[in-house]
Chain A
Amino acid sequence: MSRIGVFVCHCGLNIAKTVRVSELAEFAATLPDVVVARDYKFMCSTPGQEMIQRDIKEYKLDRVIVTACSPLMHEKTFRKVIENAGLNQYLLTIVNIREQLSWVTHDIEEGTAKAKALLNGAVYRARLLAPLTSRVIDVNPDVLVVGGGIAGIQAALELANTGTKVYLVEKNSTIGGHMAQFDKTFPTLDCSACILTPKMDAVLQHKNIQMLTYSEVTEVKGYVGNFDITIKQKARYVDHNKCNACLACTEKCPGKGVSEWDEGLVKRKAIYIPFPQAVPQKPVIDRESCTYFIKGKCKLCQKVCEQKAIDFEQQETFSTVKVGAVIVATGYDLMDTKPLVQYGYGQYPGVYHSLEVERLFNSAGPTGGKVTLRDGKEPQSIALLHCIGSRDKNYCEHCSRVCCMYSLKFAHLFKEKTSADVYQFYIDMRAAGKGYEEFYNRLIEEDVKFIRGKGARVTDSEEEPGRLIVEAEDTLTSKFLRVPVDMVVLCPAIVPRADSKDLARLFNLSTDKQGFFMERHPKLAPLATMTEGVFIAGVCQSPKDIPDTVAQAYGAAAEALTIVVKDKMELDATTAMVNPASCCGCQNCVRVCPYSAPSFNVDKRVSEINEALCKGCGLCASVCPTSAIIARHFTNEQVLAEMEGLMEF
């Protein structure tokens, strides 16, 4: 016999509107082993929590059922509540009558009836619950940050400044990310490099940060507090321990490769640093464009290198780091606009995408900061096309959030650097941010022509060869427009990194519809993920501007710190165990476990489970033909009893 208390929450009207809560509490009181049942306006509030704790003592409750919102919302809250009243936290059951009931029906009859069935199932299950003891594990004090853009840099610096050892992994040969490609930042028009490069340098100098550039995470093992991360160091063909960054090699190199940094607008050498302020200031060789790797001879770089740092035999290497927490800050890609043939990108030389234009403005860019077209001429008229692929059900439904503002920034810079007429083709002007609306107003004053209508098509001009025509409907005047221009700038959708699926798989992250990494809760846990100990920051979570990215980086650093600051932590007790008396030695559990938690004891002829490795999925329990494996908190008996209870009403 157990003594169950049932606590039905109204959640204001959220639940009470479609479930008759007092009737539900009365019903609960009739169920087996229920000794007290109450309903209350807000069970999660202090008075609600105190009521539960009082009843636990007064009625000597040994099980508590909270009938309220989703367990994903407040299971932790109520577990603490009963634990503080002296009950084992695993003796709590949550019945989700909000997210999966009151919010998805309007019918109070239906709502009340289903709530009764759910509650009945919970009572059946609760009677079979067992107290469980959480495992306490040692926590590794170090943190891994994946991605060396502004988010990763900021998070790494914050953590390092607290004395935490940080590994910063970056797949490119320099840190800096997209922000390092920008010339100015909106709305303040700060020089991007001026605010970023000191931080890049701080990373390089920081004694607590180990920077791993030209590297990628290839394997993740372990769990919160104890991750084992395998990192691949790609072959640079330059020994960075010997290289003194004289860069004589890059001067002599005859190879020509496409400059990724300058978005393909110019060529770079085969041995190169991406840009003058790159960190580290040490070159790598690109196999694809290196004369030696293509033709088998050249080695000019090796001849001029006094440090003897060039090593054509270098291989990729793998190393493992142990960390307690991980921050993923891998940023974004721009959507490839070539498939959107109506905009002529790749077809007309006058059509650019926004990152190319960032490079055109940049004094370290391909044109030294002069705005010129591919033929070297200065454009006389320029059209900026917003929402290319964004806010478009055919491509990406989401708003890319920064395009309105960077378009304004572009317009300002075009006005500053050229005498061109500048047109903005927009759907809505979204200027929600500190100083953003003011920036928009300023640009209106700067004589930029704003046309409310999405650019529909870009064609070449029949009348004036070489010029482009932007077609659009001005939705304010309902007029169809054909605007001749010299240059078209597309603002493509911001999309997840091409390899974000691989990373999601490595770290067990969920992705949203667009493929961005999903946060644990959109409001209350925006930086945590479904994987304990792995946090996300920046645009890899969703498009956002630099201030928001930096704020998330600080937040993610704080989240990671809450884990690694302690020597020990509690892990969920819901692991699997083997009842050796029932084990038939079939070893199915050993075969299927993704974490190698079960092993076969050859002497005893039974399986054993290493709880430290078990993550509690329960797969072993379902492949165990003799039910010898007990998936704690989700045992066969508990699941069967819950099903029975659910089907009874």
Chain B
Amino acid sequence: MTDFKKIEENLKKEAKRLLESGEVTVVLAYGKGFDEKHPMPFAAKSVADVDNIVFNEYCNYNMARYLVRYPQGTKIAIAVKAADSRAVIQLIQEEKIKKENLVLLGIPVIGMKNPKTDEVIDSKTTCGMHNPVLYDVLLGEEVHGQKIVSPYDVLAEYEAMDKDARWQFWKDQFDKCIRCYACRKACPMCYCDPCFIDQNKPKWADKAPQSPGNIMYHLTRFHHLAGRCIDCGECSRACPVDIPLYLFHKKVAKECEEMFNQVSGMSIEDKPVLVNFRVEDSDKILE
């Protein structure tokens, strides 16, 4: 199992070193919250801040979310778990950030927990990977020997549903939505400002939390994130009404992988699939 204390120590050590040497001006990691179960996203800007850094099994936040907030050229160190590192890769693909300005503090981890349920977070709600895909420093031992479970296995039950039942399932889910937009706040890929749903020209949907507007918001968001979502599951954990958004994102990711033979956030050489094409793409994908 992961030695969380050890990682916290290493994280502090690295943060201190990087800030002291001036290699970076900010370290994006996790800070103390009101209790152990609720650590906070934390930006350490000085050596003194480092004391506030924590790492435990509840440090789920995808800190890549905050990268785009800093002016271009800011030197940033960021703590990245597996999915977080994929978000960083995806943002590099999209030219929102540059690798040369980043120090990736890789965290291999197994046994992260959802503070709401205390259940272990695994491939059912995230990509299920344990080791960061891209890092500069590794803060713990790489996780090996775990049984590999496809992050898409969880979909089987929903794919098997009759289409009317599936519609009812999603309609019920979307009807719960209170349009707090926590999902997009938590999402590392939702950096649009303004978000389409907040616009009045054109007005894509009603702003009120009612069924048609909710559906328009979510379906369009799924499309905007198609081939870009890195399956960190943060949107769903952030959702106060527990809409299993991760399921839909996983399904779209699975389809994109099948259609375009590319997995999001795995290589900085890739181009996002929906702003790309191959001449040999098959018309079968339209069937």
Provide the bound-state CA to CA distance between A600 and B95, in Å: 11
CB interface residues, A 285-305, toward B, < 8 Å: none
Query: A623 near B274 (CB under 8 angstroms)?
Result: yes
Bits for A558-586, please: 1 = Cβ < 8 Å to B, else 0: 00000000000000000000000010111
A627 on the B face (CB < 8 A): yes
Picked from A587, A600, A625, the residue with its CB within 8 Å of the CB of B224 is A625
Query: B276 near A591 (CB under 8 angstroms)?
Result: yes
Query: B199 near A627 (CB under 8 angstroms)?
Result: yes
Provide the bound-state CA to CA distance between A149 and B186, in Å: 66
Bits for B190-227, please: 1 = Cβ < 8 Å to A, else 0: 01111110010110100000000000000000001000
**Which residues on A sit within 8 Å (CB–CB) of B191?**
584, 586
Query: B201 near A626 (CB under 8 angstroms)?
Result: no
**Closest residue on chain A to residue B201 by CB atoms:** A637
Known: A586-B96, A636-B202. A625 touches B275 (CB 8 A): no
Query: B202 near A627 (CB under 8 angstroms)?
Result: yes
Smallest distance from the beta carbon of A648 to chain B beta carbons, Å? 16
Query: A626 near B193 (CB under 8 angstroms)?
Result: yes
Provide the bound-state CA to CA distance between A635 and B272, in Å: 25
Provide the bound-state CA to CA distance between A627 and B195, in Å: 9
Provide the bound-state CA to CA distance between A585 and B194, in Å: 11
B271 on the A face (CB < 8 A): yes
Smallest distance from the beta carbon of B266 to chain A beta carbons, Å? 19
CB interface residues, A 66-113, toward B, < 8 Å: none
**Which residues on A sit within 8 Å (CB–CB) of B196?**
625-627
**Which residues on A sit within 8 Å (CB–CB) of B274?**
623
Known: A591-B275, A592-B275, A623-B274. A584 touches B199 (CB 8 A): no
What size tier do the contact residues of chain B reach? 20 to 34
A54 on the B face (CB < 8 A): no
**Closest residue on chain B to residue A592 by CB atoms:** B275
A605 on the B face (CB < 8 A): yes
**Which residues on A sit within 8 Å (CB–CB) of B193?**
584, 626
Known: A587-B94, A587-B95, A637-B201. A623 touches B275 (CB 8 A): yes
Provide the bound-state CA to CA distance between A640 and B202, in Å: 8
Provide the bound-state CA to CA distance between A592 and B272, in Å: 11
Bits for A428-445, please: 1 = Cβ < 8 Å to B, else 0: 000000000000000000
Smallest distance from the beta carbon of A643 to chain B beta carbons, Å? 11
**Closest residue on chain A to residue B274 by CB atoms:** A623
CB interface residues, B 54-86, toward A, < 8 Å: 72
Smallest distance from the beta carbon of A604 to chain B beta carbons, Å? 12
**Which residues on A sit within 8 Å (CB–CB) of B94?**
586-587
A22 on the B face (CB < 8 A): no
Known: A625-B196, A625-B224. A585 touches B275 (CB 8 A): no
Bits for A455-496, please: 1 = Cβ < 8 Å to B, else 0: 000000000000000000000000000000000000000000
Provide the bound-state CA to CA distance between A509 and B193, in Å: 40
What size tier do the contact residues of chain A reach? 10 to 19
Of residues A591, A592, A637, which shows the largest number of chain B Cβ atoms within 10 Å of its Cβ?
Answer: A591
Smallest distance from the beta carbon of B276 to chain A beta carbons, Å? 7
Smallest distance from the beta carbon of B217 to chain A beta carbons, Å? 13
Chain B binding surface, main DSSP class = loop
A230 on the B face (CB < 8 A): no
Query: A588 near B199 (CB under 8 angstroms)?
Result: no
**Which residues on B sit within 8 Å (CB–CB) of A585?**
96
Smallest distance from the beta carbon of B151 to chain A beta carbons, Å? 25
Query: B276 near A586 (CB under 8 angstroms)?
Result: no
Known: A586-B96, A591-B276, A626-B196. A637 touches B271 (CB 8 A): no
**Which residues on A sit within 8 Å (CB–CB) of B194?**
582, 584, 626
**Which residues on A sit within 8 Å (CB–CB) of B201?**
627, 637
**Which residues on A sit within 8 Å (CB–CB) of B72?**
602, 605
**Closest residue on chain A to residue B190 by CB atoms:** A625
Query: B275 near A584 (CB under 8 angstroms)?
Result: no
Query: B202 near A637 (CB under 8 angstroms)?
Result: yes
Bits for B219-255, please: 1 = Cβ < 8 Å to A, else 0: 0000010000000000000000000000000000000
**Closest residue on chain B to residue A579 by CB atoms:** B201
CB interface residues, B 157-210, toward A, < 8 Å: 191-196, 199, 201-202, 204
Provide the bound-state CA to CA distance between A587 and B276, in Å: 13
**Closest residue on chain A to residue B220 by CB atoms:** A625
Query: A584 near B276 (CB under 8 angstroms)?
Result: no
Query: A586 near B202 (CB under 8 angstroms)?
Result: no
Provide the bound-state CA to CA distance between A218 and B276, in Å: 24
Query: A582 near B199 (CB under 8 angstroms)?
Result: yes
Query: A588 near B96 (CB under 8 angstroms)?
Result: no
Picked from A600, A602, A626, the residue with its CB within 8 Å of the CB of B199 is A626
Query: A625 near B192 (CB under 8 angstroms)?
Result: yes
Of residues A602, A636, A640, which shows the largest number of chain B Cβ atoms within 10 Å of its Cβ?
Answer: A636
Smallest distance from the beta carbon of B184 to chain A beta carbons, Å? 11
Provide the bound-state CA to CA distance between A585 and B202, in Å: 19
**Closest residue on chain B to residue A639 by CB atoms:** B202
**Closest residue on chain B to residue A640 by CB atoms:** B202
**Closest residue on chain A to residue B271 by CB atoms:** A591
Smallest distance from the beta carbon of A602 to chain B beta carbons, Å? 8
Provide the bound-state CA to CA distance between A627 and B194, in Å: 9
Provide the bound-state CA to CA distance between A591 and B276, in Å: 8
Provide the bound-state CA to CA distance between A587 and B95, in Å: 8
Provide the bound-state CA to CA distance between A81 and B95, in Å: 48
**Closest residue on chain B to residue A636 by CB atoms:** B202
Smallest distance from the beta carbon of B22 to chain A beta carbons, Å? 25
Picked from A584, A587, A635, the residue with its CB within 8 Å of the CB of B192 is A584
**Closest residue on chain A to residue B277 by CB atoms:** A592
**Which residues on B sit within 8 Å (CB–CB) of A587?**
94-95
**Closest residue on chain A to residue B221 by CB atoms:** A625
Smallest distance from the beta carbon of B162 to chain A beta carbons, Å? 28
Provide the bound-state CA to CA distance between A372 and B196, in Å: 78
Provide the bound-state CA to CA distance between A591 and B273, in Å: 11
Smallest distance from the beta carbon of A639 to chain B beta carbons, Å? 9
**Which residues on A sit within 8 Å (CB–CB) of B192?**
584, 586, 625-626
**Which residues on A sit within 8 Å (CB–CB) of B96?**
585-586
Bits for A614-649, please: 1 = Cβ < 8 Å to B, else 0: 000000000101110000000111001000000000
Smallest distance from the beta carbon of B228 to chain A beta carbons, Å? 10
CB interface residues, A 583-599, toward B, < 8 Å: 584-588, 591-592
Smallest distance from the beta carbon of A319 to chain B beta carbons, Å? 28
Of residues B193, B199, B202, B271, which shows the largest number of chain A Cβ atoms within 10 Å of its Cβ?
Answer: B202
**Which residues on B sit within 8 Å (CB–CB) of A586?**
94, 96, 191-192
Provide the bound-state CA to CA distance between A582 and B204, in Å: 15
9 residue pairs, one from A and one from B, having the closest CB atoms: A636-B202, A584-B192, A591-B275, A637-B202, A588-B275, A626-B192, A625-B192, A625-B224, A592-B275
Name 29 A/B residue pairs within 8 A (Cβ), A-sorted.
A582-B199, A584-B191, A584-B192, A585-B96, A586-B94, A586-B191, A587-B94, A587-B95, A588-B272, A591-B271, A591-B275, A591-B276, A592-B275, A600-B95, A602-B72, A605-B72, A623-B275, A625-B192, A625-B196, A626-B192, A626-B194, A627-B196, A627-B199, A627-B201, A627-B202, A635-B202, A636-B202, A637-B201, A640-B202
With A584-B192, A586-B96 given, name 6 new contacts (CB 8 A): A584-B194, A591-B276, A623-B275, A626-B194, A626-B199, A636-B202
Residues of A within 8 A of B (CB): 582, 584-588, 591-592, 600, 602, 605, 623, 625-627, 635-637, 640
